[in-house]
Amino acid sequence: MPCVSHCYDQQEPIFDPSSSSSYSNVSCSSAQCSQNIKIGSTCFYRVRYGDGSITEGFVAKERLTLSSADALDCFLFGCGHYNNGLFGRTARLLGLGWASESLVSQTVQKYGSFFSFCLPTLSGSTGFLSFGSNGGNPNSIKFTNLGQNVHHPSYYYIDIVDIREGSQNLNGYSTVYIPKITFLFCLAFTGNSDDNQIAIHGNYQQQKYQVVYDVAGGRP
């Protein structure tokens, strides 16, 4: 959440901590500062994302209101004083990963690490983000197992078991030649230049689908 200076060119008003009676900075002596930088008596954070975007600022607590019936006291977040990157006019970033600072982890007692979303298309349709199972039946949802990586423990991973082209499974082939003709792919993807790079299942493939994460059960 950007505030004070060096913010993105956002549409919403910039957050002013001095106007909030429930805002407080996290001190260096707090256990919540153990993974961050300590400058003076205040806990400082610095995060760099995969696309090179960065945010720096103070680790803070605030009352987070999700709806008229849902509010979270002492919500831990980053109050950014220097932000630079490719987020356009976005005002805030919401963490939904496995990290202890994510909204999913901080609301585990209330929502049970269960959330779902539907991304809208660029044409202007409406999407949603929902926390908790909302009384639904998880048995009616098709899940796959979630994996983890010790080098990036906050990310969600899924294993690609096989790829099929027509009726032919490509698992086991070290090299696959695709002729220069037109194909219709169910899932468009591109290879990384380095095997150590992370491959991300993009939001274009997820548009107009309800994607459910049962984090506690280790399955999306």
CA dihedral sign, ordered 156, 103, 116, 119: negative
Residues 116 and 218 in one domain: yes
Angle at CA of residue 112, ends 110 and 115, nearest 5° = 100
Residues 139 and 66 in one domain: no
**What is the per-residue pLDDT for 62?**
92
**What is the per-residue pLDDT for 147?**
81
Domain tally, the chain = 2
CB 133 within 8 A of CB 112: yes
Q: How far is it, in rounded angstroms, from Cα 70 to Cα 67? A: 5
Domain region containing 120: 112-220
**What is the per-residue pLDDT for 2?**
47
> Whole-structure pTM over 0.95, yes or no?
no
Residues of the chain with confidence (pLDDT) below 70: 1-8, 35-36, 38-39, 86-91, 134-139, 165, 172-173, 176-202, 220
**What is the per-residue pLDDT for 186?**
56
Q: How far is it, in rounded angstroms, from Cα 55 to Cα 6? A: 10
CA dihedral sign, ordered 92, 97, 101, 102: positive
Tell me the CA distances in angstroms from 15 to 5, 10, 12, 65, 91, one per residue in order. 10, 11, 9, 14, 9
Among the three residues 93, 128, 158, which one is the final residue of a domain in this structure?
A: 93
Task: List, in sequence order, the alpha helices (H) in the chain.
Answer: 103-106, 108-111, 203-206
> pLDDT digit string (tens) for 83-98?
877 666 666 778 888 8
Residue 4 located in a structural domain: no
Residues 64 and 133 in one domain: no
